[in-house]
Amino acid sequence: MKINYTNNKYLSEWKYLEVAKYIKDLDRVIRLKNKDLPYIITVNDIEEFRSSNNNEGLYTSVWTYNSTEIEKATRLGPLYFDLDSSDIELALEDTLKLKNYLCQYIDRDSIIIYFTGKKGFHIECEPVALGINPSNNLPNIYRHIAQKVSSKLAIQCIDFSVYDQRRMWRLEGSRHQATGLYKNIINDDILDLGKNAIQDYCQARSENTVVEQHFQAKANEWFREFSYDLEIEKEKSKDFIAYFNKHGSSAFKDVKQIDREFTPDRLMESCPAIRRLYDQAKDNHFLEHEARLFLCSILTYSEDAVKFLHEILSHCDDYNVEKSTSHINDWIKRRNLGIGGRPYTCDRANSVGVGCGSCALEERKKWIKIGTKYVESNEKSSPSPIRFAYKVKNKGGENE
């Protein structure tokens, strides 16, 4: 996985790895321990780990973590596929099939293919290129993608058991304990020559260089469609029949399209948190990831609001209009699909350190969207700065 840990202030937190190695006497791979805790290294310690263990039978977690307490940490890793078969020719055939499919959406330099050193291949799609954000739901999303793609392409060799929260992955450039072959990156020239050429190439360790990665809107859109699909499947599993039986059809009301007029002056005057983040972007040229999500949740309900959001983000040194637009569109689409994208409440903003610290707004009843209807629940929703951001225009005038 290629991340510029020097320039990317947000992703630089994801630098911790769990490690394991093959123990000959036990004939199995064992996670290393630091007393009773997992043995954790940083990405900068990999070469020392390699050299101190003879670079043989070594593993690191496929995930990087943002804390040494991995049970509490958030995960980040490449979209990965493990293609494994006792018939290496079949594994190679499926690898080429999957590579050709992925190249329709992802730049070839962001699709990393390894021979594992014995009977299979690893394919990794770089998270920076795909715009993948850290999340503990990534194993579920990756498994969903693997299942969908495997079915679509009639691939036989994908191992679906590798998508878990603590998956260990053979260290690139390390030597396989059984064959003596190295886990190397295999370029297209060698892949096309077949099994024997690949095995010959892996007699020695190669440089295994991954080029600097950059966000790709097309790849991000492809990835996001799978995550939408997974979330929609979850929503469909929810049971709203009991609510309908209790309240009847009167519990529902039509969802009407409404025009929202963005009111930036009112928002800035009324919400100290928005004002502070605006000034921070302008003065310090940087916003934390959570601050950007908070702003996105409020400023995506009209074209004027989105323009204002871009204005704020453009003050940041790392502003990328294509990447920002993709993330904004993602937020809007999730909201339209009913699988997220809701505005931050004041409570949520305060809990993640981007709010104003206090709020005197009253609570209101929460409405739940079901298809094209809304259901009013007895649950109270916390106040949100979105109340200050827009006026709703109706035929009879304007309502706050």
State how far the alpha carbon of 291 is from the alpha carbons of 75, 181, 282, 327, 361, in Å.
20, 47, 14, 14, 21
309-315 mean pLDDT? 96
Mean local confidence (pLDDT), 268-283: 95
* pLDDT the model gives residue 248: 53
Confidence label for 141 from pLDDT (cuts 50, 70 and 90): very high
3-state secondary structure 125-192: ECHHHHCCCCCCCHHHHHHHHHHHHHHHHCCCCECHHHCCCCCEEECCCCECCCCCCECEECCHHHHC
390-394 and 120-125 beta bridge pairing: unpaired
Q: What is the mean pLDDT of the chain?
A: 89
Q: Are the C-beta atoms of 381 and 345 separated by less than 8 Å? A: yes
Whether the predicted pLDDT of 220 surpasses 80:
yes
The pairing of beta strand 259-262 with beta strand 390-394: antiparallel
The pLDDT score that the predictor gives to residue 254 is: 44
Per-residue pLDDT band at 397 (split at 50, 70, 90): very low
1-5, 192-196, 230-234, 363-367: least confident range: 363-367
Give the highest mean pLDDT range of 239-248, 341-350, 367-376.
341-350
Name which of 219, 31, 15, 230 is nearest 127 in CA terms.
219
pLDDT per residue as tens digits for the range 53-85: 999 999 999 999 999 999 999 999 999 999 999
Tell me, what amino acid is at 215? F
Q: Is the pLDDT of residue 87 over 60?
A: yes
Gap between the Cα atoms of 240 and 242, Å rounded: 6
With a cut of 80, say whether residue 286 has pLDDT above it: yes
Cα 181 to the center of its chain, rounded Å: 32
**pLDDT at 360 (0 to 100):** 64
pLDDT above 90 coverage of the chain, percent: 78
Tens of pLDDT along 22-33? 999 999 999 999
Percent of the chain with pLDDT over 70: 86
Q: What is the mean pLDDT of residues 365-379?
A: 60
Q: How far apart are CA 147 and CA 77, in angstroms?
A: 18
With beta carbons less than 8 A apart as the criterion, state whether 150 and 242 touch.
no
| Number of Cα atoms under 13 Å in the Cβ half of residue 256 | 8
Nearest to 49 by CA among 68, 62, 26, 32: 32
- Residue 239 is encoded by which pair of tokens? 């049971």
- Least confident residue range of 18-22, 248-252, 255-259: 248-252
The pTM (predicted TM-score) of the whole model is: 0.85
57: tokens are: 């039978």
Indicate whether 170 pLDDT > 80: yes
The answer to whether 165 and 139 have CB atoms below 8 angstroms apart is yes
